[in-house]
Amino acid sequence: MFREAIALAKRRLVSAFFYSLEGFSAAWHSEEAIKVELALLPIFLGLALYLREDGISRALLIGVLLLIVIVELLNTAIEKTIDRISTENNPLSKRVKDMGSAAVLGAIINAVVVWTLVLG
């Protein structure tokens, strides 16, 4: 029974991994912001590894970068869901999309603050 549960968990993880790759691909092909953030990610990852030797600092610097991408993916999912429901101009739809955009801005501000504090 334990082996069956492990096998099922492995299959689900593999499936989830491939669904996630499809999600990244869909975001990459439809969102300019994702392209910019993913293009900048290796540069800042390299800087984080170069500028700090201790693991905690590196984890903080890299973690906030990954958080930006995560929040951007969630924002994109929200926007696509709203557009799926209706593409007509609606004040509530605009408000929801603006909130998602504000979340991305918050993640970026968070990254700037963390990088400033860790490197400053």
- Please identify every residue annotated as catalytic: 72
Nearest to 52 by CA among 67, 36, 63: 63
Q: Which amino acid is located at 11 in the chain?
A: R
Contacts of 35 (CB under 8 A, 6+ apart): 28
